[in-house]
Structure 1
């Protein structure tokens, strides 16, 4: 959890307490904590060149969205944009057809991805300034998932 310092009104994450940790150590900590929180999923984490790749192996029947109504608003917009359709009501069959082939997470699966993102960002920092084309960050991450 982030630590709140009242005297200077800054929020500092775990990164300030663990600046000596290597990227591999952060990946190991993430795997350990997620295994405790979600014991039924398999997690793979690889590190290279300042990047963490996380792959979740999820049971299809538990984490995959099979119906349009299971999706978040963000995912609904993604499906509509992907299909390039204007009117939703007349194209639900087409949407369901796309979902039968697509790998889209349901809310339960999205919560896992969000919790991993939150965990990783506690160890990261970003002092970048895009207006000056200046990049200074701890590491980049990518979370992917596969259904088994």
Structure 2
């Protein structure tokens, strides 16, 4: 008796059914780029045919090697065995945890792309985020008009926003990172077990991608550049603020007040100033304490999602900042005069 369905044809024994199922699993397994919907349909058809053939003693004319393939398993158990057998595991995975893998990726990026700058961070316990922040090439298509972009690791080759060089670099990074991953997930039963989830991108919403051309060594004397050491007060303020700054909001509620926030960008490069909000007074106070240590007087204002308002500098800090500004201006003026005399 020969049986067939939409996916199984010319099935004449249980061994032939198992062989056909394995071939289909290799073709449509989600971990190998297959279609989960088709795989689910294949499992349904396999279950029906398995019920027909499991107790029959029909034997193929030639041995296939599948006669004793999980011989005592039910249809469901057999599909689970095969599904797990064909799951994906990276060639470099040897039980490393996510923090260790993130460090390995950072080291590899520094060695492989020494002139490029990356941001490699962990988001929680099971995610690694890799962003290309600067390099010597344009990563976006000419007509895209964007300055940062989140990249789907599964569709790098078909991402029309990216240039060929960007696709090449990101594909190489993805392949290296995923070589330390494993995936025991079963999306058909909503079971997820993977070492880490990978996110890729070029630039960020608060720090756009930057093209940085390599410096060429010029013969002869190089042009002088003015340099002056950063003052202690300016350095303390800069370190206390970090990536944030005090700026004005387009808000009637905080009209004319300087609020702590950060600059963000749309994908097309439009800049926005976004306030840092605090739902916890305790968390806000930690930030205020850090700012006050640098001589910045500020306070938490607003209810619910509060913001930090700038009051002013302490008298000592204000005096130090002004002194350092004057020292900088005088040093720059002296440098200009000296430079002009040398070029006359």
Q: TM-score, normalised by structure 1?
A: 0.62
**Alpha-carbon distance in 2 for matches of 1:11, 1:125:** 4
- Aligned-residue CA RMSD in angstroms? 2.8
Distance of aligned partners of 1:73 and 1:67 in 2 relative to their CA distance in 1, 3 Å threshold: farther
Unaligned runs of 5+ in 2: 1-85, 145-155, 204-208, 211-344
Distance of aligned partners of 1:73 and 1:24 in 2 relative to their CA distance in 1, 3 Å threshold: closer
Equivalent residue number for residue 50 of structure 1 = 126
Equivalent residue number for residue 140 of structure 1 = 197
Alignment partner of 1:14 is 2:92: yes
Rg larger for: 2
Q: Which digits, 9 at most, give the CA deviation of each residue in 1:59-118, with x for residues without a partner?
A: 4754332158xxx97234xxxxxxxxxxxxxxxxxxxxxxxxxxx331111111111110
**Alpha-carbon distance in 2 for matches of 1:12, 1:123:** 5
Match of 2:114 among 33, 39, 42: 39
Equivalent residue number for residue 79 of structure 2 = none
Distance of aligned partners of 1:60 and 1:37 in 2 relative to their CA distance in 1, 3 Å threshold: closer
Alignment partner of 1:110 is 2:158: no
Deviation at 1:39, TM superposition (A): 1.4
Count of residue pairs brought into register by the alignment = 108
Q: TM-score, normalised by structure 2?
A: 0.28
Equivalent residue number for residue 23 of structure 1 = 98
Alignment partner of 1:75 is 2:159: yes
Deviation at 1:31, TM superposition (A): 1.5
* SS across alignment from 1:74: coil
**Alpha-carbon distance in 1 for matches of 2:157, 2:118:** 27
* SS across alignment from 2:188: coil
Distance of aligned partners of 1:142 and 1:66 in 2 relative to their CA distance in 1, 3 Å threshold: same
* SS across alignment from 2:189: coil
Equivalent residue number for residue 5 of structure 1 = none
Alignment partner of 1:130 is 2:130: no
Q: Which runs of 4+ in 1 moved over 6 A?
A: none
* SS across alignment from 1:34: helix
**Alpha-carbon distance in 1 for matches of 2:142, 2:187:** 39
- Higher RCO (CA 8 Å, separation ≥ 6 residues): 1
Equivalent residue number for residue 3 of structure 1 = none
* Structure with a larger share of its residues in helix: 1
Distance of aligned partners of 1:67 and 1:73 in 2 relative to their CA distance in 1, 3 Å threshold: farther
